[in-house]
Amino acid sequence: MVRNGKQYLNSLKDNRCIYVNGEKVQDVTSHPAFRGISESFARLYDLAADPSNDMIYTTEDGTTANKVFMIPRSREDLAVRRRAIAKWADATCGFAGRSPDHVAAFLAGFASYPDVFGEYRQNVLDFYQYARDEDLFVTYVIIPPQVDRSKAAHEQEEKYLPVGVLEERKDGIVVRGSQMLGTSAAVSNYLFVSCITPLRPGDEDYAISFVLPIDTPGLKLYPRPTYATGKESIFDYPLSTQFDESDSLVVFDDVFIPWKHVFTYKNIEATRAQFHETPAHVLGNNQAQIRLSTKLKFTIGVARKITAMGGTDKFPQVQERLGELASLAATVEGMLLASEYECTVDKNGTARPNARFLYGIVGMQDQIYAGVIKILRELVGGGVLQLPSSYHEMVNPETKDDIRQYIRASGVDSEARIQLYRLAWDIIGSEFAGRHQQYEMFYNGAPFVVRGHAYRNYGYHEPLEMVDRFLGSYTVPKALLKEV
């Protein structure tokens, strides 16, 4: 089943426990903090359900499903999957980092390499099939809370700060603690819970992976302040009102998990291997780079349109900055396509994007996005600061004539100019904008972590062989050898 937007929104009307401003949220689909993003995700489901958009495929089991759940078996499959993911990224302008396709990629990676999960392999396969066939929105929390980052999980001052096993029962386990960052968790159906940060001997109680419905008793979400609430119109805050995913601290207050939903259990090696020995991490980051490429295209489109509106695109110095933006966006897109073209097929028959090119660009993502935002700031200048407080000044009889007279561009009316500059501000200056810059810096971990992926996956044997071959092509002078 590929569900539509209405079915998705109906699936959110349950007993989930979410607190915003000290009050329990009764319905995420109507609450100001989540209404915009849930409606945006509903539009993604409508888009996928429309056969004309070519996002439906026949699975290996003979069912039909959303292509975001595909297990790619060839370079061609990776291209098909990329085009499907890009359709969703286009619909959110690349500003929805945890749309339903992200963890769908991880689940596909898990299911393509189930032996990593040992005795729980069938649980992984069963849940993947269930999530795929029901077109579920699964998100994750895989980072422990930042209480004392110098200590291992079992060394914290209290045992259950990170989520860990409290009790083992015949029919399942009980977990207690918390985990972060819960992006989009408030508007998802299921949560995948694990730990991607390195675990040490003694951390076995925290070396677990499991899934659970968002409305599971004892599961509580505490989202950060919302950037959608208080924004009166899409015109004034076009991104904040539609694409604020929310990020949540997730608390497990003695939550029961049946064995069928357990993927790893008190196994440090399997908990690590699920991400890096299966294709899960590389497929998940492939989705993230498809989204980032779209986001950069959209952002430089805003820059190009603003400079054309003001006539500055004719200045050589502005063309130079636009050229820098073009180079950055092309680099991300080119590395994405290179990782696809140079893919490998593992022993289980899964096509994996080439890690050299994929992680090479992931390792530069924080610098690239920050650089794009810096250039866009320079190109828009003070224009984003000289805007009316809201659209009301544009319609109020007492103020509208001033706005139309003084906030416009040559050949462009005030409404079009204000609309474009409002969009630019929501990319570079609003709370939403600040969160996105932080997100692109840390969504995959601290900079040293992501560059570590690039270091490990580059394949240094090739450049080292080149150097050794050259060094071996000539001999050390005999006179020098005598001196030695």
What DSSP letter does each residue of 240-251 carry, written as one string?
A: HHHH----EEEE
Residue 438's pLDDT band (boundaries 50, 70, 90)? confident
Place of tokens 């996002």: 55
Region 18-45: what's the mean pLDDT? 96
**254: phi > 0 → left, psi -120 to 50 → alpha, else beta; which?**
left
DSSP 180: B
Residue 180's pLDDT band (boundaries 50, 70, 90)? confident
Q: Please name the helix (run of DSSP H) or strand (run of DSSP E) that holds residue 23, with its range, or none.
A: strand 23-24
Residue 403's pLDDT band (boundaries 50, 70, 90)? confident
- Confidence (pLDDT) at 437: 87
Per-domain residue ranges of the chain: 5-276, 278-466
Residue 155's pLDDT band (boundaries 50, 70, 90)? low
Cβ within 8 Å of residue 461, ≥6 positions away = none
* Interatomic CA distance for residues 134 and 458, integer angstroms: 38
* Interatomic CA distance for residues 300 and 326, integer angstroms: 7
Residue 410's pLDDT band (boundaries 50, 70, 90)? confident
- Confidence (pLDDT) at 364: 87
* Interatomic CA distance for residues 477 and 483, integer angstroms: 10
Evaluate whether the domain defined by 278-466 bears CATH number 1.10.1520.10: no
- C-alpha pair distances (Å), 257 with each of 27, 181, 328: 25, 20, 45
- Confidence (pLDDT) at 484: 55
Lowest-pLDDT range, 222-226, 230-234, 426-430? 230-234
- Confidence (pLDDT) at 408: 79
Place of tokens 């900079």: 447
Kindly report the average pLDDT of the chain as a whole number.
Answer: 92
- Confidence (pLDDT) at 391: 86
Q: Higher pLDDT residue, 230 or 353?
A: 353
Pairing of the two strands 56-58 and 351-352: unpaired
What DSSP letter does each residue of 25-50 carry, written as one string?
A: -S-TTTSTTTHHHHHHHHHHHHHHHS
Q: Over 70: is that where the pLDDT of 483 sits?
A: no
Report whether 149 belongs to an annotated binding site. Answer: yes
CB neighbour class for 356 (10 Å; exposed up to 12, middle 13-18, buried from 19) = middle
Crossing angle (nearest 10°) for helices 316-341 and 365-380: 150
Report whether 148 belongs to an annotated binding site. Answer: yes
CATH classification of 5-276, choosing from 2.40.110.10, 3.40.30.10, 2.60.34.30, 3.40.630.30?
Answer: 2.40.110.10
Region 188-214: what's the mean pLDDT? 94
**Percent of the chain surpassing pLDDT 90:** 72
pLDDT tens digits for 84-118? 999 999 999 999 989 999 999 999 999 999 999 99
* Interatomic CA distance for residues 438 and 207, integer angstroms: 28
Q: Over 90: is that where the pLDDT of 70 sits?
A: yes
* Interatomic CA distance for residues 192 and 201, integer angstroms: 23
Residue pair 131/110 in contact by the 8 Å Cβ criterion: no
Beta pairing partners, 220: 17, 251
Q: Which two tokens stand for residue 219?
A: 């599961």
pLDDT tens digits for 258-287? 999 999 999 999 999 999 999 999 999 999
